[in-house]
Amino acid sequence: MTGLLILIRFVHLGALTLLIGTFAFLLLVGRPAFRRAGATRAPDLERFDRLLLAVAEWSLLTAFASALAWLGLQAAIASGRPLGEALTLETVGTVLTGTNFGRVWEVRLALIALLAWFLFFREHEQDDRDWTAVRLEGVLLAGGLAVALTWAGHAAATTGRWRLLHQGSDALHLLAVGVWLGGLCPLAVLLRWAGRSPDPSWTAVAREATRRFSLVGLGSVAVLVLTGLVNTWTLVGSVPRLVGTPYGRLLLLKLALLLPLIGIAAVNLLRLKPTLLAHTPEGGAGTSAAIMRRLARNVIAEAGLGAAVLLVVGALGITPPALHAQPTWPFAFRLSWEVNKDVPGVPLAIGVGVAGALLGAAALGSAALSGRLRPWAIGAGLALWAGTIPVPLRYLAVDAYPTTYLRTPVPYNAISIASGQHLYQQNCAVCHGAGGYGDGPVLRGIASTRPDLTAPHTALHTAGDLFWWVTNGIPGTQMPPFQGHLTEQDRWDLINFLRALSAAEQARTLTPLVEPTPWCVAPDFTFGSGVGAGQTLKDFRGRAIIHLVLFTLPGSLPRLERLDAAAPQIGRWGARTLAVPMRDAPRIYRRLGARAATLPLAVEGSEEIVETYALFRRTLAAEGVPPVPSHMEFLVDRQGYLRARWIPGQDGGWEDLSRLLHEIGWLDNEAPKAAAPDEHVH
């Protein structure tokens, strides 16, 4: 059924393209070109006009028939029944009234009916105004048919502020396709008529039509490029999704078909059109006829490639956008500046590559201007590119895997990290060590193979790289595959823990003074006070600075009482204290009694919060992993980044509440320095 749907969409898009192109060609190219040749060609204009209107009528009938077939197939897809069983009034009625596709289809059917009325029941045109009005109505209604498609396509599913831009861009893209590709067939017909006639006035018609269509084509291609970039950005978004998803590969196929199409158009524009325009009657009718026949052949080739592009577009419309698909990286390497930037020789290699690329471009540019030395300049330019561009690429390449750019389906939150920590201790600590330093009992003493998971390079690998290694193991090492032992969810939990472990190691530098640059993502968590609905840390983004307090009774009680008393001052700076018991959460209200009575408590979810945030107890003052303190405090800014930490006993820190208030005030006055972090690790 997928193949049939693609075919129906292709036929429908082809009919619409021809419909738009026919009317636009008559208005912008055909009639002005015939008029330019004088009154002698008036009968030919009338004949050409009748032919194109007949093409428009058949295109409209084809669009109507394919729209009916599309509706029937959509009913079968929506109902999950075979096509024969789905074609009932009830099923089709449900699609028409209960789906966005159906509502848009009704609007488009009304446009088809209106255009059919103008085309099939038009009265005899009395003058130029009547003639222009009918064709103008045709191009507007045909354009409306194409634009309405964007209400039921991928653009309609775009959310947020990009939706209007995407829909507008998609609409312009369809119109430009119609004007350019749809105008190729009328142009080919006109050129073939002109090429077969010995009358010099036909050459004048062809020259003017070619000149005008070149302008129309240039404008259309410019619109196609701009809107194509917008559409690619909103539907694909990245190179991995371009090369690693079915949608991205179809888009590449479309581009591969467009390149020769544009190449042929460029030959027509830069070589054949100037030759035809420069040709004079003294040059001989045979010469101009040969040029027009060659132009016609090229235009037909363009139209053929354009039809292939429309077939790909038919498939793109029913393929999930790359932005919403998991990419499968097809190459064994990827380029990474972050991984290699500190490797000796990389800056020099990049400098060589950039210099060679610029010199090569200069050589090729001079080839375009030079006549006699053109072959040498082209050879030198290509040789420079071939010899220098691969140099930096070789230095920047790192190993990659099919899952390298896989997006984790498991959010980076305390539940996942705590689960991953348990899995790590059960399956990984024996080699990597309890703290992740690669000093587990199995590998202890084998210095050359110590896989330190806290080292900075670990954070430079993608989550997909880690997923691949955890799933399949690492050949040539003692890292085994865990695919048969851990579920996919377990493996992603493990990776979330590894990300938190690496962040915690880098966060040794955190102090009671706010970090000037936000970089450490605060793991999200869900909590409840025991009464009412639960909340998440993410709920406070953009609204409040969170002062997170992990406490233990009875030692933290004096501190909690002071914070409770200071709550109005803390709130004045747009902050909120959230206290999380490190032990005995179910009895925490009873143990606190009336003391610190107004301090918000996170009772539900406290275990996972404590396990996760206790990872951030590593400091520069202590080697390795220190014991879990009985009390810790953190500041999380409004964007969701961990910005400061205080562990009592290491220094005065926030023992003096004025210092805590000073840091909160600093954060309150700070303009956002980074976008809110994604809920998934990368």
For residue 577, CA distances in Å to 530, 556, 573, 593 come to 17, 14, 12, 19
Q: How far is CA 118 from the centre of its chain?
A: 41
DSSP calls for 173-199:
HHHHHHHHHHHHHHHHHHHHHHHH---
Q: What is the pLDDT of residues 420-468, one digit of tens each?
A: 999 999 999 988 888 888 888 876 666 555 678 887 777 778 999 999 9
When pLDDT is averaged across residues 37-63 and rounded to a whole number, the result is 87
What pLDDT shows up at residue 368? 66
Q: How far is CA 348 from the centre of its chain?
A: 33
Query: Poorest-confidence range of 367-381, 407-421, 545-559, 594-608?
Result: 367-381
What pLDDT shows up at residue 199? 78
Q: How far apart are CA 551 and CA 549, in angstroms?
A: 6
pLDDT above 90: residue 58: yes
Q: How far apart are CA 181 and CA 14, in angstroms?
A: 9
What pLDDT shows up at residue 332? 92
Three-state SS across 103-157? HHHHHHHHHHHHHHHHHHCCCCCCCHHHHHHHHHHHHHHHHHHHHHHHHCCHHHH
Find out whether 538 and 526 touch, Cβ atoms under 8 Å.
no
Query: Poorest-confidence range of 15-19, 176-180, 191-195, 414-418?
Result: 191-195
DSSP calls for 229-273:
HHHHHHHT-SHHHHHHSHHHHHHHHHHHHHHHHHHHHHHIIIIIH
Query: Poorest-confidence range of 204-213, 276-285, 301-310, 546-555?
Result: 276-285
Most confident of 169-183, 431-445, 523-537, 583-597: 169-183
What pLDDT shows up at residue 402? 95
For residue 654, CA distances in Å to 336, 393, 614, 647 come to 41, 50, 18, 9
What pLDDT shows up at residue 531? 76
What pLDDT band is residue 671 in, cutting at 50, 70 and 90?
confident
When pLDDT is averaged across residues 579-601 and rounded to a whole number, the result is 89
Q: How far is CA 533 from the centre of its chain?
A: 35
When pLDDT is averaged across residues 334-360 and rounded to a whole number, the result is 80
Q: How far apart are CA 237 and CA 336, in angstroms?
A: 18
pLDDT above 80: residue 1: no
Q: What is the DSSP letter of 605?
A: T
Q: What is the pLDDT of residues 63-88, one digit of tens each?
A: 999 999 999 998 888 888 887 887 88
Three-state SS across 617-682? HCCCCCCCCCCCCCCEEEEECCCCEEEEEECCCCCCHHHCHHHHHHHHHHHHHCCCCCCCCCCCCC
Find out whether 33 and 203 touch, Cβ atoms under 8 Å.
no
pLDDT above 90: residue 352: no
* Better-predicted residue by pLDDT, 36 or 652: 36
Strands, E, within 316-445: which ranges? Answer: 333-335, 397-399
What pLDDT shows up at residue 220? 94
What pLDDT shows up at residue 290? 83
Any idea of the CA torsion for 116, 118, 121, 123, to the nearest 10 degrees?
-160
Q: Count other C-beta atoms under 10 Å from residue 340's C-beta.
A: 18
Q: Count other C-beta atoms under 10 Å from residue 376's C-beta.
A: 13
What pLDDT shows up at residue 370? 64
Most confident of 5-14, 451-460, 475-484: 5-14
Find out whether 602 and 609 touch, Cβ atoms under 8 Å.
yes
CA Rg value for the chain: 34
Provide the 3-class DSSP secondary structure of residue 575.
strand
pLDDT above 60: residue 657: yes
* Better-predicted residue by pLDDT, 352 or 469: 469
Share of the chain above pLDDT 70, in %: 95
**How confident is the prediction for the chain on average, in pLDDT?**
88
What pLDDT shows up at residue 44? 84
Query: Poorest-confidence range of 159-173, 304-318, 432-446, 515-529?
Result: 432-446
Q: Which residue has the tokens 């920590």?
A: 421
Q: What is the pLDDT of residues 135-148, one digit of tens each?
A: 999 999 999 999 99
**Structure tokens that stand for 194 in this block:** 């002109």
Q: What is the pLDDT of residues 246-297, one digit of tens each?
A: 999 999 999 999 999 988 888 888 888 888 877 665 555 567 788 888 889 9
